[in-house]
């Protein structure tokens, strides 16, 4: 059995869940899962309208973003540059439609800005670009840049948490491992890496292209504390991130086991949806699944 299939049997069971009301939006009575649905709708519409790629990479991050932006992070959408705020660096920049949709859903910007995505004369590039939208902390797109930047931000101000959301394919990059080594060495305990482990990268399955397993063990060997979680269970993600750092004096990594294309049956676990935008009929079908 592949290593990652063990995770639910093992460590994740130790995560204690709170009562259901805990997993409500801080700002309203909506359960967080309703935000996830709405964000997926927005992603579908953005990618469909702009006929752009990377829809499946965006869909696998949704519950992670909802947990962070609606529950875990100390932020203020009305004051995006609040001193001492928590930081999220969206390092897998190609999945940016999910970040844009989440920032809108959280109230950083009006929904209208999403029409600016990947279109001539628009504001929002097809990879995360700082300055294009309130709430974006760093530019990313070339992979393996977010963790070093996040590490620098964590070292500059130890009183806040810096989260870096990365892809599993992104972990092929050498710069990621340079930062992993240094963060463990520097005991950067306010740095939290979150791996969207969706098992598929650009040309094939991660296990076949460049097997990064056992990933948690690699992080632990570099003096990190690691947890694994079902990356589509908001209660489990929130419970895992409720107490930070995972261990005193160590950076934390949450390996979130996810499904590429999650939430739309025909997009799940399919390499083609790393590239293909949905046509009108597929959009209709996908939105139907989310209703």
Partner 1 sequence: MRKTFVEKLLLYAKKYPSLMVVTGDLGYSVFEPFMQKFPEKFINAGIAEQNMMGMSAGLALSGKIVFAYSITPFATVRPLEQIRVDICYHNLPVRIIGTGAGLSYGTLGPTHHGTEDLALMRAMPNMAVCAPADKYELAKIMDASMKMKTPLYIRIGRSQEPDVHSFPPPLKIGKGLEVYSKGGDFAIISCGNMVHTALQAAAILFKEGKKGKVISMHTIKPLDSALVLSLAKKMPLFTLEEHSIIGGLGSAVAETLADAGVCPPVFERFALPDAFQKAVGKHEFLRMKNGLTPEAVAKKIIKKL
Shortest Å distance, C-beta 143 to partner 1: 10
Q: What angle do CA 254, 267, 132 make, to 5 degrees?
A: 65
Smallest CA-to-CA distance from 241 within 56, 20, 93, 67 is with 67
Does 225 bind partner 1 (CB under 8 A)? Our answer is no
Residue choice 24, 49, 155, 290 for contact with partner 1 (CB under 8 A): 155
Q: Could you give the C-alpha distances from 148 to 104, 143, 162, 244, in angstroms and in order?
A: 27, 11, 11, 20
Does 151 bind partner 1 (CB under 8 A)? Our answer is yes
Q: Where are the beta strands (DSSP E) in 14-128?
A: 87-90
Shortest Å distance, C-beta 109 to partner 1: 20
Smallest CA-to-CA distance from 226 within 197, 187, 190, 255 is with 255
What is the x/- site pattern for partner 1, positions 114-143, by CB under 8 A? ----------------x------xxxxxx-
Does 166 bind partner 1 (CB under 8 A)? Our answer is no
Residue choice 59, 64, 153, 222 for contact with partner 1 (CB under 8 A): 153
Shortest Å distance, C-beta 173 to partner 1: 9
Shortest Å distance, C-beta 56 to partner 1: 24
Does 79 bind partner 1 (CB under 8 A)? Our answer is no
Does 53 bind partner 1 (CB under 8 A)? Our answer is no
CB closer to partner 1, 178 vs 289: 178
Helix axes 32-50, 96-106, angle to 10 degrees: 130
Residue choice 150, 184, 261, 277 for contact with partner 1 (CB under 8 A): 150
Rounded CA gap, 234 and 214, in Å?
24
For 177-191, what is the HEC assignment?
A: HHHHHHHHHCCCCCE
Assess contact for 99 and 108: CB atoms under 8 A: no
Rounded CA gap, 243 and 250, in Å?
13
Does 175 bind partner 1 (CB under 8 A)? Our answer is yes
Which parts of this chain interact with partner 1 (CB under 8 A)?
130, 137-142, 144-145, 147-157, 174-175, 178-179, 181-182, 185-186
């Amino acid at each position: 059995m592949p290593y990652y299939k063990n995770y639910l049997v093992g460590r994740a069971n130790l995560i204690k869940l709170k009562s259901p009301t805990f997993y409500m939006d801080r700002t309203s009575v909506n359960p967080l899962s309703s935000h996830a649905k709405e964000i997926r709708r927005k992603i579908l519409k953005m990618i469909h309208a702009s006929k752009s790629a990377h829809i499946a990479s965006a869909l696998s991050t949704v519950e992670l973003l909802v947990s962070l932006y609606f529950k875990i992070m100390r932020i203020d959408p009305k004051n995006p540059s609040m001193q001492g705020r928590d930081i999220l660096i969206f390092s897998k920049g190609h999945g940016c439609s999910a970040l844009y949709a989440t920032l809108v859903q959280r109230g950083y910007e009006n929904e209208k800005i999403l029409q600016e995505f990947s279109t001539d004369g628009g504001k929002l590039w097809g990879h995360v670009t700082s300055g294009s939208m309130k709430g974006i902390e760093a530019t990313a797109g070339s992979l393996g840049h977010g963790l070093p930047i996040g590490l620098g931000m964590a070292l500059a101000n130890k009183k806040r948490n810096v989260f870096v959301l990365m892809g599993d394919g992104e972990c092929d990059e050498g710069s990621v491992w340079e930062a992993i080594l240094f963060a463990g060495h520097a005991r950067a305990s306010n740095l939290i890496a979150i791996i969207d482990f969706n098992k598929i990268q650009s040309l094939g399955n991660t296990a076949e292209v460049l097997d990064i397993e056992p990933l948690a063990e690699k992080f632990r060997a570099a003096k990190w504390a690691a947890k694994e979680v079902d990356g589509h269970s908001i209660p489990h993600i929130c419970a895992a991130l409720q107490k930070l750092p995972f261990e005193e004096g160590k950076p934390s990594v949450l390996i979130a086991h996810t499904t590429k294309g999650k939430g739309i049956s025909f997009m799940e676990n399919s390499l083609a949806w790393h590239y293909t935008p949905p046509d009108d009929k597929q959009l209709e079908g996908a939105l139907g699944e989310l209703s």
